[in-house]
Structure 1
């Protein structure tokens, strides 16, 4: 295959607006059509429409025009109301019904009115189904966007050309793929001639199938046009870039046995697109009892199969890319930033495949001079970072890299990990707002000085914005910039009354706090998607801080000693940067640890008090002559004594542990081992004391009432296990996170099974 030096394709501007907002466009049409009173029918005034259509409250009114009746009938799948009108005037089926030119077939497709479409299509000509709206989209594309295969099949049976018609905004199969309608894509793939699609349309289709994990279709499309592997479209997007964020498995490269290779051979392609003979053979194999009993083969049908298919697709794409000249391959990698994207997403399998065949990729840096290991340290992707232990002495050279801000890899590990740091940083940036609030009650002799200080604060916040221009981040910056402009206009204006000034400041503070809320709740959702699940699932600020300290300590092991004292462009050493970035997280960790210890210690104290009293108020009472318990020789009494002692001593140990937590110094290093171990021991003994208390209660109930009741003691004993189970379920996550953070954290950076060489 011949490769052109320029492998970029410019994306159509009209397609950008359609494809990037395909779902929002369809939802907008659907929302418009669900509320009839909000739709403008051609040549009808709003007043008449309000009387004619259904109101939001569901009130029915008499329709006054045939267009309105058809519109509502299409929405409600009411062919009985539409049939008399179309029998009188069939041209209404071709008339435009909305401002955007949707016809009755468009509306019915959006409303998923299957019966209405079946009857309507039977009355229409083949050419009528090709009529577009004002945006150049026919009703078949709307049917594809609806996701209802039956609707699309009805239209296609009437007009076989519909799947191959490329409208102004693309093909029907591409629209269905962009919206993630898997069944619709599989159906349309069978009836669409891919040769009728241009290169860009095929790329859009293949990228959409990758994004929605339709790897069986994606593999088939790629085999028909392998040049798509080296294609770059507008926005520096490529197929490898789309695949870099997807979970995949390259298990067939592992030394599996013959049985697993046979299973993988059967499942390499989805049953939805394989041949009938193969589909029957696979179906027969799957029903054999010994298969389901031994290997649980058909678990592969789910996520495991998707990962394996993604791995096969990656191998095919990468093999095609390796045929490029070295300069063009380097351009493809650097322009699309696939290494950076995979490292951010923690896609270690993706990186392992690429580096096996092209070892020099470990030296590649992005625009900020970060290697994949720098990116992994910055975004806390331990699986990717652990690859550094598989490259031998080369790691000593890679870690010497310094980015554009003068940060070495230890500086990056010292930065607050995402997404927690972003919200913490916003709170830190807006921390001076509280000081401004306190000034509102004090005399303010100079308005300009106060306004200048506010302006300076906002400009500092604006300068610390994120590097990535996400839509939410842009909105955040625009709000800040507008506020700075308003302050500029007020500087220099006379303000004789402090009350007026205070009101102005109060308004400014409200606006700033609104921007703060926007930043915390909206701006960083994109960042949360690329964080490792192990980081996001950690409970509590204290355990998150422990994970941050673990990262810093791990990176500290591999850097030269001189890097510990190296200063970046801001004249900060890695340790100084770590302490500054984690200052607020340290405070939140201390507060979280204190609150947890306080609440748990209250419970432990109550249990200790009750168990101490129960030890000397035994069931059945004492012998007046000897002072010994009357039921001393009963087995149930032994259970009571042991469980009471266990609950008593465990609760006391729990109190000691939580008291030790409350009196701790709360230094950074305390969060690494000391505090988590104390918390773990306190939670474990607290749970044991609760179990012992309930066992003692059940034993007491048996001793007192067993001779007088038949089944009630057994029922009470069974019910006493409910609080234990409830406590375990509600607090299991915290306990398990503490166990993992305390004892399993040493395996966090252990090299995995993904061998590079």
Structure 2
């Protein structure tokens, strides 16, 4: 690497690269951490929360910053991990140096004696991608061994997977023994765990075919290959590994680690990751019984309509399966090529016009609803009371209410009406929470319930003695008001509309009822909105001043225009330039 290329990689982030000897690690850590803090990326590195809405984008930005701040020897080892895992790697990375003469060699975690400089040559050959060269090196000593050869305790197969060398990966899988395939790197990743992250299904098939036990080996974080693939949104890989893991559990009589309550909570993490990454096709495959609403094919895609004469390939081209044998073969090929050409053109128009994006969103919404309906079947069997655990369903109900997801609230209460009377930590029912967060779609459901439900929710008080009208009198959360309008005056209007709407459906006693602070609903409204009223008054005054200035400017311009003659006047005679020349001029 030239000095100019090094400088171009470091000037924007850190003043120097992290080297393998780690002599500059502490200084490097100070610079890169400050950079990540300044870019609002440190939380992703420290906590690695995959449920954050923009996690994928922020993780990519943080990992890019770390990679650009490391030497190539280091960055090549961590390029296929998350930012959080990369940071952990670097903290634990041993200092790498050549051993002095007579100094004992390093030992791997398995107790193997490792000659780092010797095996470093193999690492470089793997990255070059010449299998014959790699093979000759492996057979050089007359016996085939696959120790952990890098500072990260990786085998040659780990290195080949990260280097994305297809030929070398396949050959090494064939050569390595079952125990060697189970060797882990310093982060607990087997070869299958790395492949699950990469999403290379053909490599996974070779590994599973040779050693099914890899499917249930968890890394140091606790992820088995299946949950690791789901965490990173590898949809096809997740579908494949789920089928293989379930098959292995059933055929080998292995403990079903995907069941609720099992160590590692793999089943829970799998469903959570699928929801977070919007992999609803996989979710349906996991929770819907075969043969119900959908058929899930081997490629992981749902088939809703079987077409008798056409099939769609992964590239989007259409192949005709049934031909009229009476046609000439050349004419058939011509017709098919023309049809495929028009089909490709149609796909381009389909994508460029935004129709594809809309269809994808509609399909995703439809699949999400199907997942919801399937999950509600299990919810309907729950026996709910104040002592029994609801497995987090109640928390999901209140979260959906808070964000205005009326479909979820409706289907959940249909499946198990008992959840309609579930209270949160503040002693509030979901209709009260809907009013608190100004979610009119959820609140409007109150008009469709029976009288008993209606009375139960309207007459309910929370732990502070507030009824539903008291809650309407409270100030909406900042993020809810921000979505209404930036104008304080309009926010006040919206708040007043909410209060009046709730007031119109409650009985008379609710309007004058007092909470534990001896306040009526109107008292709560007046006190809660005091500052917002002041902001509204100031906004009105500022707006009025702006309109007055604008009015003065308009009057001034209008006055000037009304007394200006088109074309102007002749500077010698004083007459209009466009005046009639035949008119006598005095």
Which of 308, 314, 319 is 2:366 aligned to? 308
Which of 576, 580, 585 is 2:527 aligned to? 580
Contact 2:274 2:282 in 1 (8 A): yes
2:499 is the alignment partner of 1:552: yes
Which of 177, 182, 185 is 2:235 aligned to? 182
Distance 1:267 1:384, change over 3 A: farther
Residue matched to 2:285: 220
Q: Supply the distance in 2 between the matched residues of 1:618 and 1:330 (Cα, whole angstroms).
A: 88
SS of the residue aligned with 2:504? Answer: helix
Residue matched to 1:172: 225
Contact 1:565 1:573 in 2 (8 A): yes
Give the TM-score normalised by structure 1. Answer: 0.48
Structure with the bigger percentage of helix: 1
Q: Supply the distance in 2 between the matched residues of 1:46 and 1:580 (Cα, whole angstroms).
A: 73
Give the TM-score normalised by structure 2. Answer: 0.60
Which of 294, 297, 301 is 1:273 aligned to? 301
2:517 is the alignment partner of 1:570: yes
Contact 1:396 1:558 in 2 (8 A): no
Q: CA deviation at 1:365?
A: 2.6
SS of the residue aligned with 2:558? Answer: helix
2:178 is the alignment partner of 1:113: no
Which of 408, 427, 430 is 1:350 aligned to? 408
Q: Supply the distance in 2 between the matched residues of 1:85 and 1:621 (Cα, whole angstroms).
A: 95
Q: Supply the distance in 2 between the matched residues of 1:620 and 1:79 (Cα, whole angstroms).
A: 81
Residue matched to 1:398: 457
Q: Supply the distance in 1 between the matched residues of 2:99 and 2:551 (Cα, whole angstroms).
A: 69
Q: Supply the distance in 1 between the matched residues of 2:295 and 2:540 (Cα, whole angstroms).
A: 49
Which of 443, 460, 464 is 1:385 aligned to? 443
Q: CA deviation at 1:213?
A: 1.9
Q: CA deviation at 1:305?
A: 1.2
Which of 358, 362, 376 is 2:434 aligned to? 376
2:202 is the alignment partner of 1:153: yes
SS of the residue aligned with 1:65? Answer: helix
Residue matched to 1:137: 189
Q: Supply the distance in 2 between the matched residues of 1:361 and 1:186 (Cα, whole angstroms).
A: 32
Distance 1:41 1:396, change over 3 A: closer
Distance 1:630 1:303, change over 3 A: same
Q: Supply the distance in 2 between the matched residues of 1:176 and 1:590 (Cα, whole angstroms).
A: 55
Contact 2:461 2:467 in 1 (8 A): yes
Q: Supply the distance in 2 between the matched residues of 1:562 and 1:276 (Cα, whole angstroms).
A: 54
Residue matched to 1:210: 275
Q: CA deviation at 1:306?
A: 1.4
Pairwise CA RMSD of aligned residues?
A: 5.1
Distance 1:46 1:390, change over 3 A: farther
Matches within 5 A, 1:234-313: 272-274=300-302, 278=306, 281=310, 283=312, 301-313=359-371
Residue matched to 1:704: none
Contact 2:294 2:302 in 1 (8 A): no
Contact 2:469 2:499 in 1 (8 A): yes
Gaps of 5+ in 1: 1-16, 49-63, 227-264, 421-527, 633-757
Q: Supply the distance in 2 between the matched residues of 1:153 and 1:98 (Cα, whole angstroms).
A: 28
Q: Supply the distance in 1 between the matched residues of 2:148 and 2:420 (Cα, whole angstroms).
A: 61
Gaps of 5+ in 2: 1-45, 75-89, 101-115, 250-255, 261-265, 313-317, 321-341, 581-586
Q: Supply the distance in 1 between the matched residues of 2:357 and 2:63 (Cα, whole angstroms).
A: 39
Deviations 1:51-104 (A, max 9, x none): xxxxxxxxxxxxx93556666888xx54469948667579896315346x4456
Contact 1:140 1:162 in 2 (8 A): no
Contact 1:19 1:175 in 2 (8 A): no
Q: Supply the distance in 2 between the matched residues of 1:345 and 1:96 (Cα, whole angstroms).
A: 51
Distance 1:393 1:321, change over 3 A: closer
Q: CA deviation at 1:222?
A: 1.1
Higher RCO (C-alpha under 8 Å, 6+ residues apart): 1
Contact 2:295 2:303 in 1 (8 A): no
Q: Supply the distance in 2 between the matched residues of 1:85 and 1:601 (Cα, whole angstroms).
A: 86
Distance 1:392 1:324, change over 3 A: closer
